[in-house]
Amino acid sequence: MSFRFAFVGVVGAVVTAAVVTLPAADAKKDVPANPTFTKDVLPIFQKACQDCHRPGQMAPFSLISYEEARPWARSIKDKVVSRYMPPWHLDRTIGEYSPDPSLSDAEVETIARWVDTGAPKGDPKDAPQPRVFPADHTWQFGEEPDLIVTSPPITIPANGPDLYPEPEAATGRRRTVRNGRHQAPSKKSIRLPSARVT
């Protein structure tokens, strides 16, 4: 009798392990064998990185072009594989978000493999059209906001670890927030990634 339970337990563990590893196997299948910047990596950067990683924005370097990204290749891989970047502190398995800058397992593996294979540029003809960004200090979610609130200023040191302050801004009543954007008063200021609206 104990043999039967042990056998069922082993079969159950094997089936469970097979089911758990299926998504990772599918992700590997979607990863190009020899990814290039222009064809495989640039579209990922455009979707998930360039809102911050472009001239005049808060990130410390630009990911608009190969020449700007290539010196940072190993650091990019480290930050992406550890999921430190792009900063997305929500559980990817719960709900859908728009915009969602998080990377799929296949996108992470594509960037890692690009770096591991020497970070090749690829054919410029394979590159997608450059993104056109809206003007700074403009609302970027379609319909105009129905409420604009301000919070007290927050001073963040120029050097040091990333900080994610959570300023409070009173609205006068309980509200549901569908979209939010923090706008800095000047280029020397930064947009904050999150806020609590009460």
User: What pLDDT does residue 96 have?
Assistant: 80
The two tokens of residue 97 are: 């978000």
What is residue 154's three-state secondary structure? coil
The two tokens of residue 116 are: 């591991």
The two tokens of residue 142 are: 């379609």
Which of 29-43, 60-74, 132-146, 156-170 has the least mean pLDDT?
156-170
CA distances from 60 to 53, 55, 81, 131, 173 (A): 7, 9, 19, 19, 38
> pLDDT tens-digit profile of 64-87?
999 999 999 999 999 999 999 998
Tell me the HSE value of 53 on the side-chain side, using a 13 A CA sphere. 22
Mean pLDDT, residues 36-64 taken together: 94
What CA–CA distance (Å, rounded) separates 106 from 31? 6
Task: List phi, psi (to 5°) of 41.
Answer: -90, -40
User: What pLDDT does residue 178 have?
Assistant: 67
What CA–CA distance (Å, rounded) separates 174 from 122? 52
CA distances from 183 to 27, 37, 76 (A): 36, 31, 26
| pLDDT class of 58 with cuts at 50, 70, 90 | confident
User: What pLDDT does residue 129 have?
Assistant: 97
List Cβ neighbours of 160 (8 Å cut-off, separation of 6 or more). Answer: none
Which of 5-14, 94-103, 111-120 has the least mean pLDDT?
5-14
> pLDDT tens-digit profile of 127-149?
999 999 988 777 777 777 777 77
User: What pLDDT does residue 98 have?
Assistant: 74
49 has pLDDT over 90:
yes
Strand partners, 197: 169
User: What pLDDT does residue 180 have?
Assistant: 66
What is residue 169's three-state secondary structure? strand
**Higher per-residue confidence, 21 vs 155:** 155
User: What pLDDT does residue 82 have?
Assistant: 95
Contact call for residues 177 and 147 (beta carbons, < 8 A):
no
The residue among 52, 75, 65, 195 whose CA lies nearest residue 133 is 52
What CA–CA distance (Å, rounded) separates 12 from 88? 34
